[in-house]
Amino acid sequence: MHISTVFINLLVVVLSVLSPATEAQQPNYLNHDCRNTTAFPVNSSTYRANRDSVLSLLSSNGSRETGFYNTTVGRSPNMV
C-alpha cells in the first residue's frame, strides 16, 4: 500500500470521528384531510359486535405463513 493511501484513509477516519453528528429534522406536519363522512351511531351494538368479531378473526389468523390476513364481517351500514 502506498503511504498516501494510508494517510488518506487515516484522515477520513479522524475527520469522521471529529465531525459533529447531525440529527435528522422532524417532518413538519401541515394538515390532515379526511374525507370519509361515514358515521356510526354511538354505542351501536351491531357495529361493536362486528368490530369485535373482526378483531378476533384477525388476531387468530395473524400467524399465517404470509403474515397477512383480511376479512369482513356484517352487512352495510354496520360492516367492518
For residue range 35-62, what is the model confidence (pLDDT) as tens digits? 777 666 666 788 889 888 888 887 777 6
Please tell me the pTM assigned to this model: 0.43
Least confident of 19-28, 41-50, 66-75: 19-28
Least confident of 8-12, 19-23, 34-38, 55-59: 19-23
Which has the closest alpha carbon to 52: 80, 27, 15, 28? 80
**Other beta carbons within 10 Å of 16:** 8
**Cα–Cα distance measured from residue 75 to residue 37, given in angstroms and rounded to the nearest whole number:** 18
Residues 48 and 55 sit within 8 Å (Cβ to Cβ): no
